[in-house]
Structure 1
Amino acid sequence: MKSIVWAAAAMGGLLIAAPASAQGVKIGILNDQSGVYADYGGKYSVEAARMAIEDFGGSVLGQKIEMVTADHQNKPDLAASIARRWYDVEGVDMITELTTSSVALAVQDLSREKKKIDIVVGAATSRITGDACTPYGFHWAFDTHALAVGTGGALVKAGGDSWFFLTADYAFGYSLEKDTSDIVQANGGKVLGSVRIPLNSSDFSSFLLQAQSSKAKIVGLANAGLDTTNSIKQAAEFGIVNGGQKLAGLLMTLSEVHGLGLQAAQGLVLTEGFYWDRDDRSRAFGERFMQRTGRMPSMIHAGTYSATLQYLKAVKAAGTKDSDAVVKKLKELPVDDAFAQGGKVLENGRMVHDLYLFEVKKPSESRKPWDYYKQLAVVPGDQAFPSAKNSGCPLTK
């Protein structure tokens, strides 16, 4: 009789789904693990999430915490397909990291449909908690608005009042160019032009020549990962900086600076939400991460640790993994960990925390391995990010 019941359940498609839903909390790390953003997030974000699970104790509500990972290859359709399988078949409760804005937007929309929580760390577009916000979506480490306020605002005030953009040709690049252009113009600067560049390009020569001929004081790199490092390397070949123009890495992390080396990266101004050598707490986290991965963490890796840990804290506080109850706790609990101190989550899902304006050191200024930044300023969270009311999120109206 028992075998007949199980057979009937299997025919109805219930055999797989029912056990998955009865398991403990399961977290999915979905990001680029083999392409242009593999160092930016990749396996290092996976390790950061694993650290968070271990630090939490490995279980919550009396059940084991599980983790699954996948490479979305920067393809929104593939990412949505993986996320759907995770939610429907494998019993995943929350997906995080989500490098690449087009991917993040696709998965966030699916998560809304499935009433599952997603916490974006690696993607940048401010639309995630703006016009595309959802009741179950969160944005953690940074966004294009914060980068524009930090890097764009600082450079305009320092005299960089004319800009030309090299822009990644997808949602992230458009958002970063728009947000930075708005800041530049609000501070009295001008945008002289822009060019859109396919993701994972190898030859930037024609685009760099357009930037050079524009005579703009600032060439804004509205791209990320290997595209940014390749832009900077090829810009040196064209003598752009030697000719008097300045490069602005609008989304650069420690990973890209490390890939370039200080000789090539020195003098770049950038904004990050985390630096391993900023205080005792960040140094302790950085050293642990180094022991496990052989490199220091960027804001993407530390942000993934924070997002995973905070989700688990919210599950514990809610006493259930029910998404609506956990969302409520995520928006109530303060964020206090190695990544952010005094962080708070707004009604639109935006986690507000301070960011930092850095300048990349000269080789002669670096005292030890991974000693890459000198801090120029703190960008307070309430200045870096718009309020929920002003974000454009329909949930706040």
Structure 2
Amino acid sequence: MRSKNFSTVTELTSKIKDLLENNFFNVFVKGEISNFIHHGSGHMYFTLKDRNSEIKSVMFRGSNQDLNFQPANGVEVFLQGKISLYEARGQYQIIVSEMKPEGIGDLFQEFEKLKKKLHREGLFDVKNKKQIPKYPKKIALITSSTGAALQDMLNIFNRRSKHIDLILRPSLVQGERASADLKDAVNELGNNRDVDVIVIARGGGSIEDLWPFNSEGLAKEIFNCKVPIISGVGHETDFTICDMVADLRAPTPSSAAEVSVKSTLDILNEIKQIELKILHNIQNIINKYWQTFDSLNVKYEKLNPMNKIITKIEKNQFLRKSLSTHVTNRLNEIKLEFDIFHKNLYSLNPKSILLRGYSIAYESSGKIIKKSDQIDVGDQFLLKTGNGDLKAVKQSN
């Protein structure tokens, strides 16, 4: 062996890569997905296998964004892509450009076509959704009478809302005749004036199993139904045309039963809150009227003529009493002044002086004798005392 005939690993890998990519640039492969990983970058990595072989596969983010289904382990798929070689590991792989589930690829295309058509016609518009009654009395169930979905919903109603009146309209939920039966059931119950809410439900299944719920006729019957409709078809990851056109979509039949009506306990609690609110409002109204009454009563008391008369009388009585007291006090003051004046006057009265032992001499003419030489010796004069008059004669000077 000569060294010049040897290739490096990289050179050989590059030749194999060129060979593969030039000859397998557009392949169509059928197989089952395993080891599926949807990376945070958006790329999908998985192994495509059958009974005897497997191939590593990758579908980059730019190619997988338009997928109409969710790839998962165990799903049979059809792939279109090219063969390439991952040189770092020397592994060949399929770089996938398109992928669809085996056997339902056509159904998905039909589903997407109908969905776009109904969307353009406005069947999915929120503005066309009917309001679900807050407190329905009668709920109609459209589902299989033998399915687990019915038992799940009955358990929910029995546990949460025993007050609700239920109507069961048994219907096919799978097979060729199911779509027509579902449509007839919606039509029948939609014309029943006693029904407040309709629940359409069935358990999960494959897209073929759920296909009756993707009928255009059923969708338009639901859209034109006068009674609000809740759709609870399949599992949380299942979406049907029925879900989209219904007034409310629930992820499962059990959740459809829950959202169709409030529990008895919740309703009782709401009633209690309403009672408390009413009592509070009544008390506020009573308090308001009492305040108004008190205010009017005060005004009435102020404007009442009798109160004015009583006030005037009381004021008059007060003034009379005050005047009487003032007059009495003034009379007492005057009397006191008079007594003092009388006393002073009495003390200055000549008679009072005479009573104290003094006397006044008068000439016979009645003139008071102020000097001893005013009369001559031998003249008579009158001596006035406090107890009487005395006649006297002047004896000497």
TM-score, normalised with respect to structure 1: 0.25
**Which of these two proteins has the greater Rg computed from alpha carbons?**
2
TM-score, normalised with respect to structure 2: 0.25
